[in-house]
Amino acid sequence: MSGNIESVLNETRKFPPPEAFSKKASISSWAQYQALHAESIKNPEKFWGEVAEDLHWFKKWDRVRNWDNAPFAKWFEGGKTNISYNCLDRHLDSWRKNKAAIIWEGEPEGDRKVLTYLELHRQVCKFANVLKAQGIGSGDSVALYMPMIPELAIAMLACARIGAVHSIIFGGFSAPALVDRIHDASTKLVITADGGFRRGSVLKLKETVDEALKSCPTVKSAVVVKRSGNAVTMAEGRDFWWDDLMAKADAVCPAAELDSEHPLYILYTSGSTGKPKGILHTTGGYMVGTYLTTKHIFDIKEEDTYWCTADIGWVTGHSYVVYGPLANGATTVMYEGAPNAPANDRFWEIIERYKVNIFYTAPTAIRSFMKWGDEHPRKHDLSSLRLLGSVGEPINPEAWMWYHEVIGGKRCPIVDTWWQTETGAIMISPLPGVTPTKPGSATFPFLGVDVAIVNEKGEELGVNQGGFLVIKQPWPSMLRTLYGADDRYKDVYWSRFARQGWYLAGDGAVRDADGYIWILGRIDDVLNVSGHRLSTMEVESALVAHEAVVEAAVVGFKHDVKGEGVAAFVTLGRGHEKSPKVSDALKAHVRNMIGPLAMPDQIHFTDSLPKTRSGKIMRRFLRDVANGVETKGDMSTLEDLNVLAKLRADEE
């Protein structure tokens, strides 16, 4: 990318936090935020050192931050701790001992379980002993390929307890994707289940593991949770039932005293090209980062019931279903299945049943809820909600307003949280008791986060000038490297602004006149129409603001005159039929809202868009369709191959 991105955002609505919310919030005034933020940037070692004091360390660190060997960071060097201890044992000497740690709900109606901190601790200790008995020790890699069941959280915390490195592979991935990840991390043990429930059918996880293990010689054994009860084959001497091993395991297992920089997990994330990147996170800094962000951004109170809907197979689940909430001694809800099983109101039913107070989900889910209609949330009492969150991609103002009005009843602040698998924890977000929000803006950097928006020379850009989002100082929960690929780590994140020593996030962003940050999406997704760089996100926002549209994806295609033309893929709402008239109306609408430059040259109507399994629209496939060329490259992250096939068929 070169040159600036022209930002055409024009969102002026502003929502201050309700006074009653601010009064009780963990950070409660703008002045307090500003002072803390300024201090955290000026004196990060003092700031983060004080935060880390909230947690348990077997031995205190010698040095808070070591950036001498940049971009390879060390945090709390010399310190000894354990995140499993901090998520569990730390709470057992208090009344939290019998507090609900995990409230779990399976997809089949009536499948429910509550684990108190004491019970969770017991199970984790037992499973840690199971791991040891399987020959797993400190530094060994363990793959978790599981449904959203309590055993997944138990297995993670058990790995962390003994210093084994977990690598969670989302249950929707196929055998080849599993093989790649197992090879890359030289995994010794796989933990899985017979199956998991998803939208009424059984996801046959064990079958996929069997297929993958044919070509994974490093894997010596597999532990299998009985979840769905479908028949599976158990390889003699290699495969063991979870329950059988647990029955024999001792319930005492002291947490290992690990170096702060001991690896905690590897999580693979797809790059736009090449093989997946193994993001490596370590213990102390990640723990401190997820602890503090959960505390202030979700403003978690002792009595809150908190629900993050992400699958634990993604970083959001790691940081904000498990580690962040448990490090805070909170009650975290975990749901196994789909939002529309058995019906479109499942989420709202869960919120009503557990009186959920804090709800964190993704824009792609919110847009589905809008499409399904208001009657589903309206059937349920959602008055327990006091705070809403969004993550994963830019939330278009239309979806933000719907979330605010229909789910939040206009009383709940919304935290639009920007971060990445690489950052480990939230980086840019409103503070719910402090920041007046604007629909679609992630607002301001969190404490200790030093961001800038710059052009290709590294010069800071002014108001309404879009450019590269960079992070100017290291932060505790940052990735330490790409597993086994230090050079790629340097190249991907640190080479563009090597002289300045800045982290390249890969996203475009812009600041408005009030200093609010707006994320414009991936730099790779920027359009270049007649020499003007436009963010696809902004054109999509304009389309979704039209009453007929529920979801839109915009890509560029090769255009003889303009360099790049604008192609829009559009899903219509109920009661709207595709027609040339609607197509013209949409073009005129974008022209009115943004200008002639952004007017789509092509409008494609589609029932659904190709998405990653985590819900991100895969624009590179749409680009191929718009350009009329064949699709090449890795398709393993695509959720539903049929969507793409259908799009192609529609073109013919």
Residues that bind ligand WT7 in the complex, under the rule CB under 6 A: 269, 315-316, 391-394, 416-421, 442, 505-507, 519, 522, 614
Shortest distance (Å) from residue 249 CB to ligand WT7: 34
Shortest distance (Å) from residue 270 CB to ligand WT7: 8
**Alpha-carbon span 476 to 622, nearest angstrom:** 37
Nearest to 65 by CA among 414, 477, 496, 533: 477
Q: Between residues 91 and 318, which has the closer beta carbon with respect to ligand WT7? A: 318
Shortest distance (Å) from residue 434 CB to ligand WT7: 18
Shortest distance (Å) from residue 189 CB to ligand WT7: 26
Q: Tokens 């920089």 belong to which residue?
A: 261
Shortest distance (Å) from residue 418 CB to ligand WT7: 4
Q: Between residues 228 and 316, which has the closer beta carbon with respect to ligand WT7? A: 316
Shortest distance (Å) from residue 474 CB to ligand WT7: 18
**φ/ψ of residue 366, rounded to 5:** -60, -40
Q: Between residues 329 and 439, which has the closer beta carbon with respect to ligand WT7? A: 439
Q: Between residues 71 and 276, which has the closer beta carbon with respect to ligand WT7? A: 276
Q: Between residues 334 and 366, which has the closer beta carbon with respect to ligand WT7? A: 366
**Alpha-carbon span 353 to 645, nearest angstrom:** 40
Residues of 468-502 as b/e, b for ≥16 C-beta within 10 angstroms?
Answer: bbbbebbbbbbbbbbbebeebbbebbbebbeeeeb
DSSP for 62-116 reads SEEEE-TTTTS-EEEET-EE-HHHHHTHHHHTSGGGGSEEEEEE-SSTT-EEEEE
Name beta bridge partners: 280.
Answer: 266, 481
Q: Between residues 172 and 506, which has the closer beta carbon with respect to ligand WT7? A: 506
Contact yes or no for 463/511 (Cβ under 8 A):
yes
Contacts of residue 211, defined as CB under 8 A and 6 or more positions apart, other chains included, come to 175
Please give the residue whose beta carbon sits closest to ligand WT7 in the complex. 421
**Alpha-carbon span 570 to 586, nearest angstrom:** 10
Q: Quote the tokens at residue 270.
A: 């797809």
Q: Between residues 40 and 417, which has the closer beta carbon with respect to ligand WT7? A: 417
Nearest to 501 by CA among 40, 65, 69, 70: 70
Q: Between residues 28 and 269, which has the closer beta carbon with respect to ligand WT7? A: 269
Q: Sign of dihedral through CA atoms 469, 474, 479, 480?
A: positive
Q: Between residues 421 and 571, which has the closer beta carbon with respect to ligand WT7? A: 421
Q: Quote the tokens at residue 343.
A: 């019906």
Q: Between residues 228 and 294, which has the closer beta carbon with respect to ligand WT7? A: 294
Shortest distance (Å) from residue 267 CB to ligand WT7: 9
**φ/ψ of residue 65, rounded to 5:** -130, 130
Name beta bridge partners: 335.
Answer: 105
Name beta bridge partners: 102.
Answer: 115, 332
Q: Between residues 517 and 643, which has the closer beta carbon with respect to ligand WT7? A: 517
Shortest distance (Å) from residue 56 CB to ligand WT7: 27
Q: Sign of dihedral through CA atoms 111, 114, 119, 120?
A: positive
Q: Tokens 């058995």 belong to which residue?
A: 342
Shortest distance (Å) from residue 507 CB to ligand WT7: 5
**Alpha-carbon span 449 to 312, nearest angstrom:** 25
Shortest distance (Å) from residue 49 CB to ligand WT7: 26
Shortest distance (Å) from residue 503 CB to ligand WT7: 12
On the CB side of 616, CA atoms within 13 Å amount to 19
Reported in sequence order, the residue ranges of 462-562 that DSSP labels E, i.e. its strands, are: 465-471, 481-482, 503-511, 517-522, 527-529, 532-534, 549-559
